[in-house]
Structure 1
Amino acid sequence: MRHPRLWPVLAAVATLLSACERKEAARDSSEGRAERPVLVAPARYAAQSQAREFAATIRPRVESDAGFRVAGKVIKRYVEVGQKVKLGDPLAALDEKDLRLQLEQAEAEFAAARMAQTQALADEGRAFELRRKGWTAQAALDRARAGAEEGRGRFKRAERAAELARHSLDYATLRSDADGVVTQTLVEPGQVVAAGQAAFRIAHAGEFEAAVALPEAFAAAAGKGEAKLTLWSKPGAVYRAKLRELSPAADPVTRTFAARFSILDPDSAIALGMSATLIVSASDAEPVVSVPLSALYNQGAGPGLWKVDEAGNLQLVPVTVVRYEADAALVAGGVKEGDNIVVLGVHKLDPGMKVRVVSRQAL
């Protein structure tokens, strides 16, 4: 058992030992921070040339839906998908029974109106002659003239009704309105269709285009650069292309913009529906630095980069991300040409920490 007089001495010794241990730990920690190795690379600004590849499909410039102008039941279809058609070729036909009855009714009404007009004109002539000789009143002549005018109107209306009935009968056969290829059939024999309902899709013969979907980050620059097209079935051939149409709104599902590129030098190897690769090259005016994705540091205050000076001091500088690529990011601002940037382990660093550069590589 220790003597009570020794307790103050033991307490003082324990306090001194604890203080020594804290100083040693602080020194070890400071030395550890100073010796932390980092991998850096110098920043190099350059005008980035964007060369992007997109999957494209060869489509016609004009593709329209053809439909019957009258309602009825389809009794025959003359064409199939992929079949070439000429202007005026029949595509399908409707049952004509009801349309023929309507035509017969209109022609009968037309014949009756013609006879009524003839009678009204004859009455008008006789009334005029009697009035001229003074054998009838003016009111009788006025009634005859009104009857003749009504007869003329009924005749004109019946004539137009008969003409419309003949047109409706002619519309029972759907014909192609252009040379082209049938790309889709939407009706079958026995189906009842309404007037104006799409029955066939026709790709008009003529200019072919490359249809692509462009991402949001590239849509604005798509028309500023050079575009080339290569067919999957003919990789060695390269065709020049030019942006003709760009959708003003993004697709709500894919968030891409539909675009059409005209093929400037087509040949017989290009066919409807072929798959192709569209290569678009555009040059950015603003110089940027390409850094690995591992170099970006963002804790909610925006993207930044860790910059290391010659003495090994760290500084976090904010940057603007111009574009993300597969394994890198293009940034602008914040760093100068030749500044050393930490490219690995950025989330383990603190402001003011001293580091030791162990390797360098070019960005």
Structure 2
Amino acid sequence: MCSLLLLAACSKKVEKAEDIRPVRVMVLSPANADVISEFPGAVQARYESQLGFRVGGKIIARQADVGTVVKRGQVLMRLDPKDLQLAQAQAVAALSSATSSRDMAKADLKRYQELRDKNFVSQAVLDSKDTAFKAAQATYDQAQAALKGQLNQTAYATLESDVDGVVTAISAEAGQVVAAGTPVVNVARQGAKEVVVGVPENQVDKLRRSGDVQVRLWADPKQVIRGAVREVSPIADPVTRTYAIKIAIPDSAPNVKLGMTAYAAFASKTSDDAIKVPLTALLRVQDHSAVWVVEHGAVRQVPVRVVGQQGNDVLIQGALGGGQQVVTAGVNQLKPGQKVTILNAPESSAPAGNIAAPSPVASNAVPTSSAASGAVQ
């Protein structure tokens, strides 16, 4: 019994250590910054024609490949001309027959006019000969027009390029029977080019009014090309559910080739109370975004609204002010009132600068702006 009392007297109560989390923070400063929305796209020709034969038939020759640079009048494909040549021969024979009939009617009319002058025939007989000649003349004119039309039909068996450009697609091969008007070759006209990007529906109206568009090529990210929004599709793509925006670029832009992967960055100004923070500072809470603010050694959760994105940073609005410290790392390990210790010296959030050059990625990569929007909205 004495031993137990001695042990109880010697033992001390162990105090629970306070949970203090290390975090990194930054000092906020409002900035009227550039909101950068960047989307991948491709370089396309502003004018592209889908060419097809004006007559139906069987293709016997294809004389161009995808990527072939063609001149105006250059032959692209040919149809089997046998049926058209037979129809042309028939038209020639019809014209020859009509010519003979017209000449005969003309000679008869001349003879009967001489007989009428000598009063050997009546006026009624002369009138009938005149009518026969006019009918023969009309038949001749009809046959002549039919021959010209058939000559055109025969010429249509050869498909020629109507512009200087490059072949971008071929949808028919030799041996295939095609109907009149079926597109078989796509030719992009040389000259004006544009970049086509797909944007989500919640950004169409904002980007439509953007007056500052910068285009960069994946092959040469250092080259900046100034563009202008030329056209915004009124309907969404049925597959991607995005709206196509066509951006005109100068013809003088060097090293721009059709089909190249490009990035279009749309810049616009935020409101005065927008604040830029790293994407890592955002915390998703139920149906809204929030940040952690450090006050008196503890954190407090503040709801915010995302109004823009620039690279790995986002622009937010909320009950925040300049000089406050916001946690930029370890946000998922905190809880309201959590005691924290700051690992780094606080850094001020600087206003957004110029558009950063996009890092080369695969052409099917998800747009940076779309990924950020989906994560924080």
SS in 1 for 2:225: strand
SS in 2 for 1:221: helix
Write the deviation string for residues 242-299 of structure 1: whole angstroms up to 9, x where unpaired. 111211222233221111112226444211211122222122468556797647665x
1:80 corresponds in structure 2 to: 65
Q: In the TM superposition, what are the counterparts of 1:311-326 in structure 2 within 5 Å?
A: none
1:250 corresponds in structure 2 to: 236
Flag the 1:145–1:288 CA change in 2: closer, same or farther, 3 A: farther
Q: CA RMSD in A?
A: 4.2
1:208 corresponds in structure 2 to: 193
Flag the 1:276–1:190 CA change in 2: closer, same or farther, 3 A: same
Q: In the TM superposition, what are the counterparts of 1:138-217 in structure 2 within 5 Å?
A: 138-217=123-202
Flag the 1:143–1:287 CA change in 2: closer, same or farther, 3 A: farther
Residue 241 of structure 1: CA displacement? Answer: 1.4
Q: Percent identity?
A: 36
Q: How high is the TM-score relative to the length of structure 2?
A: 0.68
Flag the 1:321–1:233 CA change in 2: closer, same or farther, 3 A: closer
1:36 corresponds in structure 2 to: none
2:255 corresponds in structure 1 to: 269
SS in 1 for 2:222: strand
CA–CA distance in 1 between the matches of 2:27 and 2:193? Answer: 48
Amino acid at match of 1:151: A
Give the count of matched residue pairs: 317
SS in 2 for 1:141: helix
1:110 corresponds in structure 2 to: 95
Q: Which runs of 5+ in 2 are unaligned?
A: 1-25, 296-301, 350-377
Equivalent residues of 1:225, 1:283 under 8 A apart: no
Write the deviation string for residues 160-206 of structure 1: whole angstroms up to 9, x where unpaired. 11111111111111111111111111121111111111111111111
Residue 87 of structure 1: CA displacement? Answer: 0.9
Mean CA deviation greater in 102-111 or 206-215: 206-215
Match of 1:240 among 213, 217, 226: 226
Q: Which runs of 5+ in 1 are unaligned?
A: 1-40, 311-316, 350-354
Q: How high is the TM-score relative to the length of structure 1?
A: 0.70
CA–CA distance in 1 between the matches of 2:152 and 2:64? Answer: 23
Equivalent residues of 1:62, 1:203 under 8 A apart: yes
Flag the 1:290–1:274 CA change in 2: closer, same or farther, 3 A: closer
Write the deviation string for residues 315-335 of structure 1: whole angstroms up to 9, x where unpaired. xx9998756999998676x85
